[in-house]
Each structure stands twice: as structure tokens, then as C-alpha cells.
Amino acid sequence: MTELLCADCIGKSYRGRRILSSASLRAVPGELRALLGRNGAGKSTLLKIAAGWVQPHTGQVRWEGSVLSRASLPELARRGLFYLPDHDLLSDAFTVRRQLEMLRRRFDGLAPEEAARRTGVEAQLDKRPSALSGGELRRAELAAVLVRQPRCLLADEPYRGVAPRDAKCSPMSSASSRRPQSPSSSPDTRYRRSSRLRIT
């Protein structure tokens, strides 16, 4: 099947230290792919480059086969990418419900109440993100993924702070026809279901 997103032969250095050298990431529709590796191996950096958040020193990012000369997150988001970073996604300026409703109005995805129910945070909808526990906050962010219904999801530490018993609520725990996802790392057993594992 044709790749939807590809970060190919990526090289990146910080302050003279080589972080990535010829690293690649490919997202294929209908597949769940996992990227595993030790701390500092460059997993998050590769995801950020694939999402257009950071620019590589070498290599290229392609979307549906077309090379993006300077990939940017806003451009990729318009094409259907959702990047879930390893830090807080939601703003504390609005309630969780309000932010999910904003996503729904923009992208016409799943209803916020249904997304919150599926991720187990329906009781937290009228709270601001700062009032949630770490696990509740991450599940609220996963609810945003369900509302957005992206063509491609790049998730860095998708189960950060989520108790194993609650991980089944994740949008990555059930089959979906538009689920090419590339989480960074987690010891969760759901990676046994991954179509591909890449270990760095």
C-alpha cells in the first residue's frame, strides 16, 4: 500500500552532536507502527521532523509521494496529520469540552461527548486541563484525536501517565481504517499488535 507520510534518510544534529543519521519513518494507511528505543536515541526528534515541527539537516519528508521542500506542521495538519506531542497539548484557557467543540467545528469529526466517553473522561469535560490528573489529561488529548479523525496520527509517548487498565480507551487500541500511527515509545503490550516495530 502507498505510504501516506514518509520521513526518509533523516539526519539531525544538535550543538555538534549527531542525533539522527539516515533515520526513516513511514506511515501506511491501516497500519499501526511503533518506534521503540532507549532514551536519547532520537525517537522524538524523528517524530517532530516527520510532523514538520523541526527541520532536518539531511533527508526529506514526503506526503502521498510528494516531496515537501520545507515541511511544516500547519501544512501537514491541513492535509490530515495530527501530531500528539509528549508534552501537554490542551490549553488551560478553555475547558476540555470547549476545546473539543472547537476541533469538531473545524473538522467535523466525532462528537466531543462520544470521544470523551470512549476515552473515559466524560466527567472531566467541563474542567480546565490543569484540574485533571496526568492520566486524565492524556486521555482528554486522545479524545481530541478521536474528534479530529486524522488521516495520519503521529503520537509521541501516547500512553504517558495513562494506567494500563485505562489504555484500552485509547484510539490506538481499536481497529480503524485510517490509523497509520507512529508512537514513540511505551512498554505497553498493545505494541504486540503493531504491523511494524522499529527499534533504534
pTM (2 d.p.) = 0.81
200 vs 191: CA distance, rounded Å: 15
176 vs 110: CA distance, rounded Å: 13
53, 55, 58, 59: CA torsion to nearest 10: 40
Local structure of 66: helix, strand or coil: strand
Q: What is the pLDDT of residue 186?
A: 44
In order of their start, the domains of the chain are: 5-199 (3.40.50.300)
121 vs 98: CA distance, rounded Å: 14
Q: What is the pLDDT of residue 148?
A: 96
Q: What is the pLDDT of residue 163?
A: 75
Local structure of 145: helix, strand or coil: helix
Q: Are 12 and 56 in contact (CB under 8 A)?
A: yes
Q: Are 37 and 43 in contact (CB under 8 A)?
A: yes
pLDDT in tens, the chain (200 residues): 689 999 999 999 998 899 999 999 999 999 999 888 888 899 999 999 999 999 999 999 999 999 998 999 999 999 999 999 998 899 999 999 999 999 999 988 899 999 999 999 999 999 999 999 999 999 999 999 999 999 999 999 888 877 766 665 566 554 333 344 444 444 444 444 555 544 44
Q: Are 139 and 121 in contact (CB under 8 A)?
A: yes
Instruction: Tell the residue number behind the cell numbers 484500552, with chain if given.
Output: 168
Question: What is the gyration radius of the CA atoms in the chain, in angstroms?
Answer: 16
Grid coordinates standing for 163? 494506567
DSSP string covering 9-49: EEEEEETTEEEEEEEEEEE-TT-BEEEE--TTSSHHHHHHH
Residue 27 corresponds to which amino acid? A
Q: Which of 12, 59, 44 is nearest to 183 (CA)?
A: 44
DSSP at 132: S
Q: What is the pLDDT of residue 197?
A: 47
150 vs 101: CA distance, rounded Å: 16
DSSP at 193: G
